[in-house]
């Protein structure tokens, strides 16, 4: 066979693969972009940076989409990329951790002022947790990951993750009941 | 499983319950309530940490992949163009180089090359050509041979580096002599005298054309030249 014919044949063979890749990418965007954005907001505390971070994450995911072998692990894979990208962001510029723009984490549009107040209280409590406790909890609640997946994402063993999840919820409950007791007293 | 352990497990992961846990919950309303409380708090946390997702985000993500792909394609074509440019440059360079190598060839070198090229066939074509045959070819160069003291055994057009010339072989008393009639406009550098191990040659520039004579003997050349100049006339 002539070289130009073989060349054409391989090009034709590649096309369905390309389509497949594009299709998987679109699936990844549709299914996971909202959860990734929420997690990104939690990590960055800024809507603009969070959006950039999600875009960087998906660009990196597209470049290495061939490495994704299992659709079932796609979400954890994307979260790992996002965490890495976030770490890179800290490397690039000595980003100061700030408690700014907390409010952006709240969905302010459909709540009453009372609800908003209690939500803000809750957010404060979550942020008052040690990061090592809040981190697995957020991954479980927003990401919907299992203990094993969280262990893998955070490079911890399962027992440690379970302990931290337990302590996170326990501390949070204690803080909230303490608050409500205080409020009752005040009231 | 005591109550503390039940609560501990529910606080660790309220979403993935084992069969044992589920059975426990069904039996114990308190634990059930506790499970509901945990889930409710999680729901609150989820609400608190769920800012509205920008509507443009999904499209931006799809678009960015498209752009990246286009950029890669563009880069591919740019590389292709760069490659083509390199090839064109090299080709130009090679062409120049070949002009440099062959372009400097002189009248003498070219004449000798023609002589050597015809040499193997020379001795088989010893039939004399008629004067009119030779003159019909010479006419193209505005030249004419009057009755000659020697016979022409070969007459044909040849190419002197792009210039159409006439290749003649004449038989003199001393031996064979090759004569080239080359028009004045040619791409070779003029050489009055030239030689190699076997042949020697002389060139004469007349007002119409250059006559190049090549022979293996000096005396043939000398006599042949005189006879040629005597017999060959150029039209004014």
Read off φ and ψ for residue B119, nearest 5 degrees.
-50, -50
Residue among A51, A147, A172 minimizing CB distance to B41: A172
**Is B162 in contact with B184 (CB distance < 8 Å)?**
no
CATH topology of domain A110-187: Arc Repressor Mutant, subunit A (1.10.10)
Residue among A51, A162, A172 minimizing CB distance to B57: A51
**Is B54 in contact with A49 (CB distance < 8 Å)?**
no
- d(CA A26, nearest CA chain B) in Å: 7
Q: pLDDT, tens digit, for every residue of A105-139?
A: 555 556 677 777 788 888 888 888 888 999 999 99
Domains annotated on chain B, with CATH: 3-48 (no CATH), 107-234 (3.40.1000)
- What distance in Å separates the CA atoms of residue A40 and residue B195, rounded to the nearest whole number? 89
- What distance in Å separates the CA atoms of residue B91 and residue B59, rounded to the nearest whole number? 48
Give the pair of three-digit tokens for residue B112.
């000798």
Q: pLDDT, tens digit, for every residue of A43-92?
A: 888 888 999 999 999 999 998 888 887 888 899 999 999 999 998 887 76
Tell me what pLDDT residue A89 has. Answer: 84
ipTM of the shown complex: 0.77
Share of chain B above pLDDT 70, in %: 94
Where exactly are the structural domains of chain A? 1-105, 110-187
- B41/A25 CB distance under 8 A: no
Contact list in B for residue A141 (CB cut-off 8 A) is: 42, 45-46, 49
- B58/A104 CB distance under 8 A: no
Give the pair of three-digit tokens for residue B124.
């088989």
Query: Which numeric CATH code is attached to A1-105?
Result: 1.10.1740.10
Q: Average of pLDDT values for B85-91? A: 94
With a cut of 80, say whether residue A159 has pLDDT above it: yes
């Amino acid at each position: 066979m002539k070289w130009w014919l073989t060349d054409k044949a391989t090009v034709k063979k590649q096309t369905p693969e390309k389509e497949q890749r594009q299709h998987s990418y679109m699936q990844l965007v549709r299914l996971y972009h909202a959860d990734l954005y929420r997690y990104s907001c939690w990590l960055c505390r800024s809507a603009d940076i969070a959006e950039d971070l999600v875009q960087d994450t998906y660009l990196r995911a597209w470049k290495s989409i061939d490495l994704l072998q299992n659709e079932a692990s796609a979400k954890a894979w994307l979260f790992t990329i996002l965490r890495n990208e976030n770490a890179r962001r800290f490397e690039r510029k000595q980003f100061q951790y700030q408690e700014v723009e907390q409010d952006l984490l709240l969905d302010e549009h459909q709540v009453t002022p009372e609800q908003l107040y209690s939500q803000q209280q809750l957010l404060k409590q979550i942020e008052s947790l040690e990061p090592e406790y809040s981190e697995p909890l957020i991954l479980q609640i927003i990401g919907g990951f299992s203990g094993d997946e969280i262990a893998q994402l955070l490079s911890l063993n399962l027992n440690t993750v379970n302990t931290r999840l337990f302590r996170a919820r326990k501390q949070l409950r204690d803080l909230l009941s303490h608050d409500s007791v205080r409020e009752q007293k005040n009231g | 499983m005591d109550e503390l352990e039940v609560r501990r497990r529910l606080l660790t992961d309220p979403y993935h319950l084992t069969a044992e846990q589920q059975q426990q919950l069904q039996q114990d309303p308190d634990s059930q309530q506790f499970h509901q409380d945990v889930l409710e708090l999680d729901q609150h946390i989820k609400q608190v940490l769920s800012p509205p997702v920008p509507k443009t985000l999904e499209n931006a993500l799809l678009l960015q992949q498209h752009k990246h792909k286009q950029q890669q394609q563009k880069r591919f074509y740019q590389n292709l163009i760069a490659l083509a440019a390199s090839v064109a440059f090299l080709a130009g360079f090679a062409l120049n180089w070949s002009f440099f190598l062959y372009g400097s060839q002189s009248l003498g070198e070219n004449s000798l090359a023609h002589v050597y090229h015809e040499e193997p066939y020379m001795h088989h074509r010893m039939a004399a050509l008629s004067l009119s045959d030779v003159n019909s070819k010479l006419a193209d160069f505005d030249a004419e041979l009057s009755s000659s003291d020697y016979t022409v055994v070969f007459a044909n057009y040849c190419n002197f580096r792009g210039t159409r010339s006439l290749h003649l072989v004449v038989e003199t008393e001393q031996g064979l002599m090759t004569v080239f009639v080359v028009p004045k406009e040619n791409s070779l550098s003029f050489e009055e005298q030239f030689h190699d191990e076997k042949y020697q040659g002389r060139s004469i520039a007349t007002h119409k054309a250059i006559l190049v004579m090549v022979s293996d003997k000096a005396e043939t050349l000398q006599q042949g030249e005189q006879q040629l100049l005597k017999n060959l006339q150029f039209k004014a």
